[in-house]
Amino acid sequence: MRRRHLLVSLAVTASGGCLSLGGSSSTSSTSKLGEVSIVNHDYEPHRVEVSVERDGNQVYRGEPEATAGDDVSPGGVVLPCEWGTEVGEYVVQARIDTRTDWKSIALTDYDADMISLMLSIGDVNTDRGDDPGLSFWTTSNANESCESPTETSKS
């Protein structure tokens, strides 16, 4: 087992929140969007095009660069919280620079007051030279809220 496998496993365990890949509840609800982070398990940095909509209106669009991972830990980036703390029906779309297809997640499929997202480039089994995919992980951990927009979003 590579060391980064162990470190990622420990980070997920220590997050205190419940992470899930996909899945949904049977009810539709509105919630707050918490922190959105990108975790990069690939050995190369990647630009990720991200769009966040609330109630059908775009509240964030950017192309942050997720730093490269290595044998010890994944790389990544945390997005600025430009969407604020408003409750709404959020849809997040993303694609990595090596792909043309978009991935999308509607947070109305989850029953929680606040939902944070982790976009994962590859996974702990991604090796050098692999073409990594992109997946969404959700958590309802209240410690990962975006209490106020960042300074960049105020300009």
* Three-state helix/strand/coil letters over the chain: CCHHHHHHHHHHHHCCCCCEECCCCCCCCCEEEEEEEEEECCCCCEEEEEEEEECCEEEEEECCEECCCCCCCCEEEECCCCCCCCCECEEEEEEECCCCCCEEEEHHHCCCCEEEEEEEECCCCCCCCCCCCEEEEEECCHHHCCCCCCHHHHC
Question: Is residue 155 assigned to a domain?
Answer: no
Q: Does some domain include residue 95?
A: yes
* Total of domains in the chain: 1
pLDDT tens digit sequence for 112-129:
889 999 999 988 777 777
135 inside domain = yes
Does the residue 153 lie in any domain? Answer: no
Q: What CATH number should be reported for the domain holding residue 55?
A: 2.60.40
Residue 112, domain member (yes or no): yes
User: Which tens digit of pLDDT belongs to each residue from 140-152?
Assistant: 866 667 765 543 3
In a domain, 151, yes or no: no
What pTM value is reported for the model?
0.75
154, part of any domain = no
For residue 38, the enclosing domain spans 3-146
Q: Does any domain span residue 137?
A: yes
Provide mean pLDDT across the span 61-88.
93
Predicted confidence at residue 121, as pLDDT, reads 93
